[in-house]
Amino acid sequence: MLLKQFFQHKRLATLLVCILLFENAKSQYHFFTKSEVNVASIQTEMLLSPRQFEIATSNTPILNPNDISLLSYKNMEALLPASGKLRGNANSSNIYIKALFSNTSDTTVEVFFYPGYYFKSIFLFRQPTKVGSNVQSLAERKPDFKFEDSYKGIVLQPKESSYYYIQLQPVRIQVNTFRPELINPAFLSAHAARVREDNNQISILTYIIVGILGMMIIFSFANFIVTGKKEFLFYCLYTLFNASILFGKTYLYLSTSDFNYFFEEYMDFALLLGGIVFYVYFLKYFLSINKQTNKLLNLVLNCIEILSIIFAFAYTFTYFLTDDIAGLSIMEMVMKYVILGIGLFFIGLGFKEKSKLINYIMWGNICVIVFGFISLTIIISPVQQSSIFSHALFHYEMGLVGELAFFLLGLTYKSRTELINKIKTEDAVNHENDKKNFEKQLAIIQARQEERNRISADMHDELGGGMTAIRLMSELAKQRTYRENMPEIEKISASANDLLSKMNAIIWSMSPVNDTLSNLIAYIKSYASDFFENTNIQCEVIAPEQIPAIEMTGIKRRNIFLAVKEALNNILNYTDANTVNIAVNINQNLTVIIKDNSTRMSYEEVSVNDNRFVHIKKRMETIQGELYIQNLNGTAVILEIALQK
């Protein structure tokens, strides 16, 4: 009886074990309803469809490979949209793919798995279809070319059929795309080129635009160095940060480097926030905004600056210390709305204020908003085209270049206007200083003229009267003693006449009413005629009938006259001439030619260094004039001085 009960319990236990094994097998195999993938049939590449794999997610990576098979795998549509774009928390989760791969050929087959972009890590696991098999971690196999981290090799032995689990860790951004493919090794390079060829045209354009922005950066920084104006510096930094974002996005496109993942996750948004701060400071200095001039605008810009700094700290804290991708996405979205709000605010302000500088800001923001709207329309449009104009990035770049171009035009306009105003102010100050200096010099000249007039008047009244009295008394004395020869009285009379003549010449040279060329020529005519009046020398003075109204200072008049007088004295005392011709020529220079018909002096005897011409030469040098001597049928003394018309 006991033996019978033992066998009954043993059969029941065996039945229970079989049922458990059956249920386990069902959970692992029979309920996997997806199509088997025959890797031997892949000639180039195969895009895995949702009918060929299941998907599961986990907030933390699973360390035990056997636990991977216990995840709740579902159809792709249950966790991801049909487009494959990862949304929300899926970008911060670990994604697991389950698929059944087989090799129906008689040889070993290798294929490479490509998940899409961007995924930090890819790990492969294999579980044979045999009931009770463990999940095994596969050694990493990578191709030997630039983008090897995006591809992981899978090797299937002849007639092998196994379940494969693929663990993916996406980058914490909102543009990740899940697009699983199996690629034949011979087609890897072509596949990598094809994945990136759609971006070639926009990449070239982006590099050109970055070059343009680079020239703007150099131009604005050079202006800052020259002028020291801070608006040029903050414009330079704002442009630099935007150019860095464009260059990084293009140069690192689909790169599998850790730096690219860091750039996509954190650095691009940090550059955006930094650019916004510099943009605010640019506006403050460009529009000369402060608490006194525009309280509202100053308050708005200060709030934007503070918000950007707060978001920078919050974003940094969230990125490095948490896995909250939703929080990161919210902050990015809020800052985009802030940028939109800034644009709309300045557009409204531009229409209201009618300020030239604000208009440049307004049109720059219009470019950003219009092209940004076009870019957004392309992003949400279900129709995708291959033209470069259908790229959302193209229109974003056009808007950015338009904005920065208008800002730079505004800076140039402001700098030019300030320079013109500065020059006008300096000219006004210089003009005022020149006016004061002129008035001071004029006062000095007038004082000198008044003193000259006083001295000449005193000389005329006092000395002139005295000399005239001496001359008259000497003449009376001569008449009373005409029977006696008294040479002393003759000398007194001659000296009085000579002194009176010299005094008249001094008075003539000092009087400002005589400071004209015509007066000089008339005085020379009068003096020459009187000088040779009681001699046997005939004197003729030839001068133009029309003499231009040219000012001649007293110093010039006096030295020219004394030079002429000295030349006439030399003719009278040292030559046997009986004819003297004085010719006055007026063009760019005043030329006075004193020609005699003397035969007593030869050419060798006469030169400008002759003692008889030393005083004449010194007087001409005093007034920057020239003395020339010619000997041809007599002696010609030529006096020449430049005229200032």
Question: Tokens 């791969």, residue?
Answer: 101
The amino acid present at 582, given as its one-letter code, is I
Question: Tokens 């000395």, residue?
Answer: 463
Residues 134 and 223 in one domain: no
Extended strands (E) in 84-160: 94-102, 109-117, 119-128, 136-137, 152-156
DSSP H helices in 481-538: 487-510, 517-531
Which token pair is 412? 């140039």
Q: Is the pLDDT of residue 23 over 60?
A: no
Secondary structure of 438-486 as H, E, C letters: HHHHHHHHHHHHHHHHHHHHHHHHHHHHHHHHHHHHHHHHHHHCCCCCC
pLDDT the model gives residue 140: 87
311 within domain boundaries = yes
Q: Measured between alpha carbons, how far is 178 from 76 in angstroms, rounded to an integer?
A: 10
pLDDT the model gives residue 193: 82
Q: Of 177, 197, 217, which residue sits at a domain end?
A: 197
pLDDT tens digit string along 178-205? 899 999 999 988 888 887 776 778 888 9
Residues 535 and 620 in one domain: yes
CATH code (residue 168): 2.60.40
452 within domain boundaries = no
CATH code (residue 569): 3.30.565.10
Confidence of residue 27 (pLDDT cuts 50, 70, 90): very low
Closest CA to 270 of 234, 319, 230: 319
Residues 156 and 243 in one domain: no
Work out the average pLDDT over 535-557.
Answer: 88
pLDDT the model gives residue 128: 92
446 within domain boundaries = no
Residues 27 and 110 in one domain: no
In contact, 360 and 413? CB cutoff 8 Å: yes
* Domains identified in the chain, total number: 4
Q: Measured between alpha carbons, how far is 313 from 306 in angstroms, rounded to an integer?
A: 11
Residues 385 and 281 in one domain: yes
Query: Which domain covers residue 356, as residue numbers?
Result: 200-427
Main-chain dihedrals φ then ψ at residue 159, nearest 5 degrees: 65, 15
Confidence of residue 76 (pLDDT cuts 50, 70, 90): confident
Residues 15 and 48 in one domain: no
Q: Is the pLDDT of residue 445 over 80?
A: no
pLDDT tens digit string along 494-521? 677 777 677 777 777 777 777 888 998 9
Residues 264 and 246 in one domain: yes
Q: How is residue 580 annotated by DSSP?
A: E
Question: Any idea how long the chain is?
Answer: 645
Work out the average pLDDT over 344-355.
Answer: 86
Q: Measured between alpha carbons, how far is 50 from 59 in angstroms, rounded to an integer?
A: 22
Q: Of 150, 169, 197, which residue sits at a domain end?
A: 197
Q: Measured between alpha carbons, how far is 128 from 107 in angstroms, rounded to an integer?
A: 18
pLDDT tens digit string along 393-408? 888 899 999 999 999 9
Residues 542 and 552 in one domain: yes
507 within domain boundaries = no
499 within domain boundaries = no
Residues 54 and 124 in one domain: yes
Share of the chain above pLDDT 90, in %: 35
Main-chain dihedrals φ then ψ at residue 138, nearest 5 degrees: -95, 145
pLDDT tens digit string along 554-594? 888 889 988 998 899 888 888 888 899 999 999 889 999 99
pTM reported for the whole predicted model = 0.64
Confidence of residue 3 (pLDDT cuts 50, 70, 90): very low
Work out the average pLDDT over 27-31.
Answer: 46
pLDDT tens digit string along 314-329? 999 998 988 788 888 8
Residues 54 and 128 in one domain: yes
Q: What is the mean pLDDT of the chain?
A: 83
Work out the average pLDDT over 38-45.
Answer: 93
In contact, 166 and 178? CB cutoff 8 Å: no
Residues 532 and 580 in one domain: yes
505 within domain boundaries = no
271 within domain boundaries = yes
Residues 415 and 293 in one domain: yes
351 within domain boundaries = yes
CA dihedral 522, 526, 531, 533 (to 10 degrees): 140
Q: Of 136, 167, 197, which residue sits at a domain end?
A: 197
